[in-house]
Amino acid sequence: MNVALRIFAVLLTVVVAGCATRPPAGSGPAPDSRPQAQAVLRALALDRATEDRILALDPLKVTAADVGTTLAAAPTPHIVLLHGGIFPVHLLMTSAGRFLTGMGYPESALRNPGDRRWSHSPYEYSDQLAGMVAWHYEHDGMRPMLIGHSQGGIQVVKVLYDLAGAYRDTLPVWNPVQDAAEERTTIVDPLTGRERPVVGLSVSYASAVAAGGAALLLPNQWSMALRARTIPDTVDEFTGFALGVDLVAWTFAGQDGGRRYRHNGTAQVRNVLLPASYSHVFVPLTHPLARDPAAREWIDAYVPAAGEVPPVPPDGLPVNILWAADIWYSVKKHWVLEAQRLIRARRSTLGPP
């Protein structure tokens, strides 16, 4: 099959997938689940020594020992995984979730608290996902992270725009346990105790891999056609991963501008170019890496490069290790930062334990 026919086949596949039915939402409003002011801070049951160890961590140098001891006792922010749009690619984000748990991230902070799914579909409404971000922050005291693959990566950026108020002035809180909206558009900020709107909330970290291109032709992503590579201020740090050659996301050797992400304000944005040998479909297939001693050692020691080209792993290490290592580095970093932020808020409000 020549290149033109391959591209046509890809376009036909994603357009057909774009006609998929969105999963049904809850049948009625969920009960108001807002905690009382200071409830999250008072529920933080850590002793003084454990808090001190968490506060002493360097978020840029988190070791395997730090994860296995200090962070194992720390509060944990929720991670929202978003898979691509063609069945059964959700299994690949399940693999990514199992990789993270294999490296030491709590499974409960990855799976949906309602139906226990590992990842969310890009055909779910993005404003529901934004409302769910608010629910998790209100109940956990830590801002969630968003990790998306393929069309799920576009959806990650769309959720950031929802939080920025690009589509609506108000957003309802979405209760993931009930899978329904609550009849309110504000939350009790768990760190300050003050009421605040869902619109304007931010996440700590977000990333997208192999996102863009053909998926932007789908009706549910038309609003992202001119926004997919521009990151709003509703995230602290965003990493955009592109493959050297990707017929689905339309990135090709020598083409730079069309794949790069940029901010439109204050967000820190990194671009990472993965090898052309990586597969658009199988990039998140990473759970075996956590069981491979050599791969795990390299991942634990990984530090992102200053430019767009990541460090070269030694020969013999499995495929997809660069994406896995970079994701794990950022997850550890923001796990530490959010846990430290929560502990400092507790001490400021209630005093040390």
Looking at residues 286-290, what average pLDDT do you find?
98
Of 350 and 5, more confident: 350
Whether residue 17 is predicted with pLDDT greater than 50 in this model: the reply is no
Of 241, 239, 262, 237, whose CA–CA distance to 251 is shortest?
Answer: 241
**Position 338 pLDDT exceeds 80:** yes
Q: Which tokens is 174 given? A: 């979405």
Average pLDDT over residues 315-320: 94
Please give the residue that has the higher pLDDT: either 258 or 202.
Answer: 202
The average pLDDT across 256-270 equals 87
Buried b (16+ CB within 10 A) or exposed e, 99-135: bbbbbbbbeebbbbeeeebbbbbbbbbbbbbbbbbbb
| pTM strictly above 0.85 | yes
Contact (Cβ atoms closer than 8 angstroms) between residue 246 and residue 210: yes
- pLDDT value of residue 105: 98
Q: What are phi and psi of 184, to 5 degrees?
A: -160, 155
pLDDT of residue 246: 81
Find out whether 178 and 114 touch, Cβ atoms under 8 Å. Answer: yes
Residue 214: the pLDDT is 80
Q: How confident is the model at residue 314 (pLDDT cuts 50, 70, 90)?
A: very high
Say what the pLDDT of residue 9 is: 37
Query: Which of 69-73, 236-240, 254-258, 317-321 has the least mean pLDDT?
Result: 254-258
Residue 249 confidence (pLDDT): 77
CB distance 153 to 85 below 8 Å: no
What is the enclosing helix (H) or strand (E) of 348? helix 321-350
Which residues sit opposite 181 in a β-bridge? 174
Burial 222-233 (b: 16+ CB within 10 A, else e): eebeebbbbbbe
pLDDT of residue 256: 63
Reading the block at residue 66, the tokens are 């730090």
* pLDDT (average), residues 287-302: 97
Residue 250: what pLDDT? Answer: 78
Residue 291 has pLDDT above 90, yes or no: yes
Q: How is 164-213 classified by DSSP, letter by letter?
A: TTSS-S----EETTTTEEBS-SEEE-TTT--EEESTT--EEEEEEES--G
Residue 10, pLDDT above cutoff 80 = no
pLDDT tens-digit series, residues 99-157 = 999 999 999 999 999 999 999 999 999 999 999 999 999 999 999 999 999 999 999 99
Query: Which residue type, as a one-letter code, is found at position 198?
Result: V
How confident is the prediction for the chain on average, in pLDDT? 90
Is residue 311 over pLDDT 60? yes
Res 66 pLDDT > 60 = yes
